[in-house]
């Protein structure tokens, strides 16, 4: 088997797989390593996980030939409604509404279920050499390339190693890249629900004192919830049986969609902020949660990772056209300049939103209700928020514009 590649990717999650597809489609030789088996079969049970993909992320998946396999099962997000709420009281009268009619491009995003997205990516990995069931355990960067060792002793070499190995990235640690951040003391309870009434493609965000409750539309009369609670409460709630869980959820959820029932397994994710102090080192780059893991309050974590990938793939493609060594630090710093400020801003904004909204301080509650009312009354500002959430602002890489590399 060929052991020299242009690029080795440590981590074959959603970001690692998308990066592998993008780089292989640009003509690079790519190896991807992940301990998980990974399969193109999407016949498995619904595990409840789903992602709000921005309009720009959907364009990128279309440009990479992945979206066709997901589109039929993805739910367009037509409108977003944001309000303050308390269990049993329903949403406050100050509702902030974002409608897709306010941007010409169409729905601001789609909800894609993990059980469809992951196999669609796996099916598009044709040109990639896969090392499944394996871990990267060592790396050594040198003048001519980086030597990568897997847990079965296999040795690979490449011009560049990209760490897509998640928020506890060992690639970063081995490269001496530190992370800053903190534990939120909150956990997200995630589940899919079925309900009696149609959701009409509307996503809801209720800001509860303990943390936000997002109700995100899936196909049919189903929605996905991301229900944030203090970690000790989340642990207690997750320990309840399904009926006990629903009994606590119902007063928070309200009855606007009629009766609700669980439509899949329940999951819990401890929430933490983690931001790499650098996104690159000689012959090393970090993408996705390995570079920045943020609070899911705005549903932007994966979208930000896909933006890293689009930017890195574009930088590497241009470097190769110029005849540059793609692993050199000055090439990689172009990627860092493109992404680091943006990713840090996302981390700061999501952190600030979580602090502002996850409390019951009457003064703050009054201020944020006024703020939501004010933003709602300003169509220009509202449109700006929608374009930001859709991924249409700033220096948008080609793939996120739906253009090939």
Ligand X SMILES: Cc1cc2nc3c(=O)[nH]c(=O)nc-3n(C[C@H](O)[C@H](O)[C@H](O)COP(=O)(O)OP(=O)(O)OC[C@H]3O[C@@H](n4cnc5c(N)ncnc54)[C@H](O)[C@@H]3O)c2cc1C
Residue 336 in contact with ligand X, rule: CB under 6 A = no
Convert residues 127-146 into a mask of x (bound to ligand X by CB under 6 A) and - (unbound): --------xx----------
**Minimum CB separation from ligand X for residue 175, in Å?**
13
| Selected range binding ligand X among 120-128, 240-248, 294-302, 366-374, rule: CB under 6 A | 294-302
Judged by CB under 6 A, the number of residues near ligand X is: 32
Sequence-ordered list of residues with C-beta below 8 angstroms from that of 111, at least 6 positions apart, any chain: 50, 51, 52, 53, 74, 75, 77, 203, 216, 217, 218, 224
* 229 is a site residue for ligand X (CB under 6 A): no
The single residue among 301, 317, 327, 391 that binds ligand X, judged by CB under 6 A, is 301
Select from 198-206, 293-301, 322-330, 378-386 the region that touches ligand X (CB under 6 A).
Answer: 293-301
Does 300 contact ligand X by CB under 6 A?
yes
Which of the ranges 7-15, 39-47, 69-77, 346-354 carries the binding residues for ligand X, by CB under 6 A? 7-15
Closest approach, Cβ 114 to ligand X, in A, equals 9
- Interaction with ligand X in 166-195: which residues (CB under 6 A)? 166, 170, 188, 190
Whether the Cβ atoms of residue 219 and residue 73 lie closer than 8 Å to each other: yes
> In this chain, which of 22, 52, 66, 249 binds ligand X, going by CB under 6 A?
52
Q: Is 163 in the site for ligand X (CB under 6 A)?
A: no
Q: Which stretch binds ligand X (CB under 6 A): 34-42, 65-73, 118-126, 359-367?
A: 34-42
- Minimum CB separation of residue 357 from ligand X in Å reads 16
247-276 positions binding ligand X, by CB under 6 A: 269
Give the largest CA-CA distance in the chain: 65
11 is a contact residue toward ligand X (CB under 6 A): yes
Q: Does 13 participate in binding ligand X (rule CB under 6 A)?
A: yes
Cβ–Cβ < 8 Å for 217, 92: no
296 is a site residue for ligand X (CB under 6 A):
yes
Q: Figure out which of the listed residues 23, 33, 203, 311 binds ligand X, where binding follows CB under 6 A.
A: 33
Binder to ligand X among 3, 26, 29, 35 (CB under 6 A)? Answer: 35
Nearer to ligand X, 292 or 365 (CB): 292
Q: Which of 10, 77, 191, 263 binds ligand X (CB under 6 A)?
A: 10
For ligand X, give the closer residue by CB, 77 or 375: 77
**With respect to ligand X, which residue has the nearer C-beta, 234 or 369?**
234
Among 288, 317, 327, 397, contact with ligand X (rule: CB under 6 A): 288
**Residue 195 and residue 34 in contact, taking contact as beta carbons nearer than 8 Å:** no
Q: Is 354 in the site for ligand X (CB under 6 A)?
A: no
| Contact residues for ligand X, defined by CB under 6 A | 10-16, 33-36, 51-52, 135-136, 164-166, 170, 188, 190, 226, 269, 288-289, 296, 299-303, 305
């Amino acid at each position: 088997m060929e052991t020299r590649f242009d690029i080795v990717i440590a981590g074959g999650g959603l970001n690692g797989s998308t990066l592998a597809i993008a780089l292989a489609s640009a003509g690079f030789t790519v190896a991807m390593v992940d301990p998980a088996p990974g399969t193109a079969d999407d016949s498995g049970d619904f595990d409840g996980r789903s992602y709000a993909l921005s309009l720009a992320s959907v364009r990128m998946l279309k440009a990479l030939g992945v979206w066709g396999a997901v589109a039929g099962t993805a739910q367009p997000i037509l409108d977003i409604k944001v309000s303050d709420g308390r269990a049993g009281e329903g949403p406050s009268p100050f509702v902030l509404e974002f409608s897709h009619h306010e941007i010409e491009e169409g729905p601001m995003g789609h909800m894609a279920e993990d059980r469809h997205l992951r196999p669609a990516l796996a099916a598009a990995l044709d040109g990639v050499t896969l090392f499944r069931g394996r871990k990267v355990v060592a790396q050594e960067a040198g003048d001519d390339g980086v030597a990568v060792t897997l847990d079965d002793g296999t040795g690979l070499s490449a011009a560049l190693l990209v760490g897509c190995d998640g928020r506890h990235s060992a690639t970063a640690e081995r490269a001496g890249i530190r992370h800053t951040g903190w534990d939120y003391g909150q956990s997200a309870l995630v589940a899919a629900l079925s309900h009696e009434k149609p959701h009409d493609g509307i996503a809801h965000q209720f800001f509860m004192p303990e943390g936000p409750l997002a109700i995100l539309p899936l196909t049919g009369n189903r929605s996905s919830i991301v229900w944030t609670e203090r970690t000790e409460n989340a642990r207690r709630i997750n320990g309840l049986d399904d009926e006990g869980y629903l009994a606590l959820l119902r007063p928070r959820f309200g009855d606007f969609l009629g009766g609700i029932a669980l439509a899949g397994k329940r999951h819990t994710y401890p929430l933490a902020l983690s931001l790499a102090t650098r996104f690159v080192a000689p012959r090393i780059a970090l993408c996705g949660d390995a570079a920045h893991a943020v609070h899911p309050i705005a549903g932007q974590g994966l979208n930000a990772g896909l933006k890293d990938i689009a930017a890195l793939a574009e930088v590497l493609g241009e470097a190769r056209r110029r005849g540059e060594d793609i692993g050199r630090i000055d090439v990689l710093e172009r990627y860092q300049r493109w992404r680091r400020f943006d990713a840090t801003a996302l981390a700061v904004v999501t952190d600030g939103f979580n602090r502002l909204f996850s409390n019951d301080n009457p003064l703050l509650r009054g201020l944020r209700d006024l703020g939501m009312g004010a933003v709602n009354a300003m169509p220009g500002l509202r449109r700006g928020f929608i374009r930001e959430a859709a991924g249409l602002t700033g220096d948008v890489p080609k793939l996120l514009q739906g253009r090939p590399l």
